[in-house]
Structure 1
Amino acid sequence: MRYAVMAAGVLVALAAGGPAGAQGDMIAERRAGLGGLGQTMEAVANTVRSGGDTRALVPRIEAMSAFMSTLPNLVPAPSLTPPQAQGTNPGQTRALAAIDANRADFQTRANNMQTAFATLRTAAAAGSISPDLLRSTGGTCGACHQQYRAR
């Protein structure tokens, strides 16, 4: 009997921790993806500045486009921060609560990034990313940051 009660307690604890653990996984996946996006943009910028071959960047750009297709699903409401400085609650990030109120716009901005990455990918494959295209792609990233990321 004592073991049955302990086993039931463990199951309840695991069930209660499941969503929180899943949220933590989503946040970790989001952070890793956004970090990779920043690293890819930096690699593209460095390659363009140095006049290097952009064709080698195609797989990284494709990976970032694929990540952007998943981003809207990686932003659970409990991880969002009120429009203040970085949240202090466990699991809070610099993603603003405005995302939850404007999910359709957030999805549109993620779609815009996928489109920008498709254009960047095409130019990279041709070996011809221009500084203007790079700025335009960065501006598409920045438009989301201005609206949905705490400073």
Structure 2
Amino acid sequence: MKRGMWLAALGFAALAGTALAQGDVIAERRAGLKRMGGHMDAIKPVAESRGDVKALEPRVDDMIAWFRSMPQRFPEGSSTGDTKALPSIWSDRTGFETADARMVSQLEVLKKAAADGDAAAFATAFQATGPLCGACHRNYRAR
């Protein structure tokens, strides 16, 4: 009897740990995506005014790092809870990962323009970045 109770307790602890880990990944990705939106909000006025784009390089670096890791932030089983992730992230994983790879490629263009201090190229690259955000949101994020 004691062994059965001990195994049951261990099972409940494992389930609780899974739920906690799932909650953590959801909270982590929500915070990261909010940070990405903050970067976009901070970049926009500088891009529009053709300001000092070189100063934006650390923001773009953070965005590249984030988006490179983004698919792993949506593991199987993390579709429930405080998330706006649509089931299509998991059912159309190839499409999701392709959209993410497009974003990383575009951010690398943005990074080069920032590193070069080329405000005109940066503004053009920034204009191409926003629609990639929207395309991913339309297919993989609930409103």
State if a TM-score over 0.5 links the two structures: yes
1:144 corresponds, among 133, 136, 143, to 136
* Cα 1:129/1:146, change in 2 over 3 Å: farther
Point out where structure 1 has 5 or more consecutive residues left out of the alignment. Answer: 81-89
**SS of corresponding position for 2:86:** coil
Q: Deviations over 1:63-115 (max 9, x none)?
A: 111111111111234443xxxxxxxxx61411111111100110111111111
Question: Equivalent residue for 2:37?
Answer: 38
RMSD: 2.2
Where does 1:1-151 land on structure 2 (aligned, <5 Å)?
11-80=10-79, 91-130=81-120, 131-151=123-143
Q: Give the Cα–Cα distance (whole angstroms) in 1 for the partners of residues 129 and 33 of structure 2.
A: 15
**Aligned-partner residue type, residue 63 of structure 2:** M
> How many residues of Structure 1 are paired with residues of Structure 2 in the alignment?
141
Normalization by structure 2: what TM-score?
0.85
**SS of corresponding position for 1:133:** helix
Work out which structure has the larger RCO, using CA pairs closer than 8 Å and 6 or more positions apart in sequence. Answer: 2
Normalization by structure 1: what TM-score?
0.81
**SS of corresponding position for 2:81:** coil
Query: Would you tell me which structure has more helix in proportion to its own residues?
Result: 2
**SS of corresponding position for 2:31:** helix
* Cα 1:105/1:129, change in 2 over 3 Å: farther
Point out where structure 2 has 5 or more consecutive residues left out of the alignment. Answer: none
Q: Give the Cα–Cα distance (whole angstroms) in 2 for the partners of residues 145 and 75 of structure 1.
A: 14
**Aligned-partner residue type, residue 28 of structure 2:** E
**SS of corresponding position for 1:94:** coil
